[in-house]
Chains A and B, each alone.
Chain A
Amino acid sequence: MTNAISDIEQAEVILVTGSNTTEMHPVIAACIKRAVRRNHARLIVVDPRKIGLTFYAERWLRPRPGTDVAWINSIMHVILRDGLENKPFIAERTEGFDALGPLLAAYSPERVQKMTGIKSQDIEHAAHMYARASRATILYAMGITQHTSGTDNVKALANLAMLCGHVGVPGAGVNPLRGQNNVQGACDMGALPDVFSGYQPVADEVTRTRMAQAWGVEELPQRPGKTLMEIMEGAGSGDIRALFIMGENPMLSDPDLHHVASCLGHLEFLVVQDIFLTETAKLADVVLPGASFAEKDGTFTNTERRAQRVRQAIPPIQGCRPDWKILCDLASRLGVPMSYETPRAVMDEIASVTPSYAGISYRRIGKKGIQWPCLATDHPGTPYLHKGRFARGKGRFHPVDYAPPPEVPDTDYPLYLSTGRVLYHWHTGTMTRRTRGLVECAPECEVEISPKDADIHDIRDGDPVQITSRRGRITAKARITEKAVPGMIFVPFHFAEAAVNELTLRDVDPVAKIPGIKVCAVKLQKAG
């Protein structure tokens, strides 16, 4: 996030898109709801589903899945047309503005209504609300990024925020809500193919030499590595022979599972480190039992860039080892001795080689956490980014054009399928599906179907239904609900026995390599 979570309550207008916040980030949703109910903030929700927040919204805009660039461009079209852009901000703090206008000309609300299904008046209304606010924030999540156009979607939102100058002040910004507890930290720490910790490029020679020195090795590989989806493809094609998976379950979380299984099957050697025998671990040659968060020390970095402590509460379950220890043992066996006494010592090394974490230590994190960038031991941390100036100097507009999603409904597969999570489970369910209360609330996979589609397919609430895409078929229980909208069904991906990712597409966004998991076309039938 560019801003802090508590900032949300200072916003005058809140635009939430592609985030089912009340289920995915309930505590952040509470901030949004408090802002609306207590501070009279005005909420715009843009989402194909009738998610919980629509109940609190002044306007709910319902785009067809995969049409985000179109409606965002249209909002900007209206802002420019009506002269509501923040001219001083654009002049002083941004560049590339001139290219934006011509591109937006094609996105009149009337035309975009046809592309997206959003009423043109709603686009106009939302544009005025957002542009006229003194402080307006944009919150988004996987519903924006998990598309083949994910990078473009994010750029479009950034354009919108810059156009109105809603950046660099409290209560504003463009704020991705990270799905998993430490996605932010995993990225920050360089668990990425092209960067070391702190986003320092591996291709840069100076950086590489410095890291090699710090790590006491002669050289480091210079060519950026493969991304997740490329690693999977590589396993299938024989380029990748051995794979080490720590704490991930691609056999449930990744798109097009049949393909994932066949790729992993081709490997000569698969190692999985986890706390349970997950669907992925079952395929491994060696399984290493790690420890849960309750059994180890460390830090997580949350979606607002706040590094916070994880503290050991109980000893590791008999036979398990904390993951950091396993890594040290393995590295030492591979000829690079790692002899950290504690995770605290690892953090000290992180700070010494990572500029954005340079001032972070366990002592400073204490009980309040600290938000990076934190450049020195006397730097207070950074609650919101781009204050006064952008990190890269001037903010650059990146005009983007709308491209339709790779698969849309047709006569054979007439419905949109959207995937995601439900309140009571998390990710691949390895933890939540082993918790009584949560299982009681959401025992099985339910597919959300609108009353209208249920009627057309002669399906009643609770019926088992079959969902088929060009890639696979699953069976789940029908839940007929007003939350779903006609023409689109929703299936959560937590459930191994009805693994919705058997249906999804593995086409990826060309830049971020995020698969377009959120949209594909399916057909629906009563099962049995």
Chain B
Amino acid sequence: MAKTISLTINGKRITTVPGTTILMAARQVGIRIPTLCYHPRLSATGSCRVCMVEVRGRPTLMPSCTTTVEDGMEVVTANDRVLEARRLIVQLLLASGNHNCLTCQSNGACELQKLAYDLGIEALAFPARSSGYPRDDSNAMIERDPDKCILCSRCVRACQEVQVNEVLDFGYRGRRSKIVTAWDLPYAESDCVFCGECVSVCPTGALTEKQAKFQGRPWELKKVRTTCPYCGTGCQLDLNVRDGRVVKVTSDTLHGPPNYGSLCVKGRFGYDFIHHPDRLTAPLVRHKEGFRKASWDEALDLVASRFSQIKQSYGADALAGLSSARCTNEENYLFQKLMRTAIGTNNIDHCARL
């Protein structure tokens, strides 16, 4: 086998290594081929046919995500024949189900919508036919709308290959095809652990974060990259903010280590506490059997004077501090600095031991 392979894409000469797909080779030189069922973290299936290209000498169009390059290949990624085929595919997808973009949660982020736009599709060519399957509204986190599902199987592969939870698969046949859990149970009753990987890869509005519904459209959300506050994995995530409220959590393969876009249920759906009405909103000072609200100055003065008194009476080692594995490095550093300098004791620990 030759060490490198030469081919042309849209007349452009390309040299690449064996085993590269046409899709990858094209991307290497900046030629964009549209895709739908393809996802960089998942195995390629070539099932949606949107990435079809013409290869000289082959009678049929070839899916570029699964066809590997060969020496001397001549590839055309967009001519009338290719574009017509793509339009037909997208038209069929648009007619399958009920793609109501108007208030869809994925409006603006939907890959099907974008394809339709890019291909200049103004009106449906075929009458839309609902799948007849009801929405899965069984839980507070993920909403499934089979009427927006294009059976691309990205969710199935994400669940199987990335999270290896092995919950989703194809069910039924032909026209009745549907993505199902075992026994086609709603998510809440299935083995689903709500990692949300399926939601994160779904190209349409078929799988969405339920609590984010009507809380902001994609372009209205500001994404702030940060680190998950739960376990020690330290997953990278984006807080999606609108009007000073965190309304959704997402992540992205491109964020890289440690999680490459994966999250678990806590990281992805565990953000309600931020705006919970139980949040403390003023310092509290003990008053009779309970507490009364105090100003920051009053509370801090009280703490400082009581600490000083106790230090004076019993010595610095009569004071102790428990720092927090939940707080930042900077805060832990300042905490021990405060205890060691301002108080003068090494009585500092946190709950690493627990």
Contacts and interface: CB of A to CB of B under 8 A. Distances in A.
Given A243-B321, A294-B274, A434-B272, A313 B334 contact: no
Contacts of B327: 182, 186, 246-247, 290, 298, 323
A333 interface: yes
A33 B195 CA distance: 15
Interface stretch (B1-9, B53-61, B170-178, B299-307): B299-307
Contact of A294 (B226, B330, B331, B350): B226
Interface residues of A, number: 150
Contacts of B343: 334
Contacts of A318: 281
Interface stretch (B122-130, B147-155, B200-208, B260-268): B260-268
A28 B325 CA distance: 19
Contacts of B283: 286-289
A189 B318 contact: no
A301 B338 contact: no
Nearest to A439: B140
Contacts of A220: 340-341, 344
B331 A327 contact: yes
A314 B329 contact: no
B234 interface: yes
A307 B308 CA distance: 35
A376 interface: no
B258 A302 contact: yes
Contacts of B288: none
Interface in B191-232: 193-195, 211, 222, 224-232
B231 A426 contact: yes
Nearest to B340: A220
Contact of A38 (B161, B188, B195): B161
Interface in A1-57: 4-6, 22, 24-28, 30, 33-34, 36-38, 56
Interface in B316-351: 316-351
Interface in A275-292: 275-277, 281, 284-290, 292
A440 B244 contact: no
A242 B310 CA distance: 7
B339 to A, nearest CB: 8
Task: Give the bracket for the number of chain B residues in contact with chain A.
Answer: 35 or more
Nearest to A247: B324
A191 B301 CA distance: 24
A84 interface: no
B102 interface: no
Contacts of A517: 354
A350 B329 contact: yes
Nearest to B343: A334
Q: Is the interface of B mostly helix, strand, loop or mixed?
A: mixed
Contact of A185 (B195, B267, B328, B345): B328
Interface stretch (A71-79, A95-103, A193-201): A193-201
A320 B261 CA distance: 31
Contacts of A474: none
A217 B316 CA distance: 15
A30, A186, A217, A292: most-surrounded residue (chain B CB, <10 A): A186
A306 B257 contact: yes
A180 B345 contact: no
Interface in B250-292: 255-259, 262-267, 269-276, 278-286, 291
B234 A186 contact: no
A437 interface: yes
Contacts of B286: 284-286
Interface stretch (A266-274, A398-406, A465-473): A266-274
A435 to B, nearest CB: 4
A227 to B, nearest CB: 5
Interface stretch (A60-68, A104-112, A335-343): A335-343
B276 A434 contact: yes
A265 interface: no
B239 A313 contact: yes
Contacts of A527: none
Contact of A241 (B273, B304, B318, B344): B318
5 contacts: A182-B328, A250-B351, A320-B280, A423-B193, A437-B211
Interface of A: 4-6, 22, 24-28, 30, 33-34, 36-38, 56, 145-146, 177-194, 196-197, 202, 211, 215, 217, 220-221, 223-229, 231, 234-235, 239-248, 250, 253-254, 268-269, 271, 274-277, 281, 284-290, 292-296, 298-304, 306-315, 317-321, 323-324, 326-331, 333-336, 338, 340, 343, 346-347, 349-350, 367-369, 423-426, 430-432, 434-438, 440-441, 512-515, 517
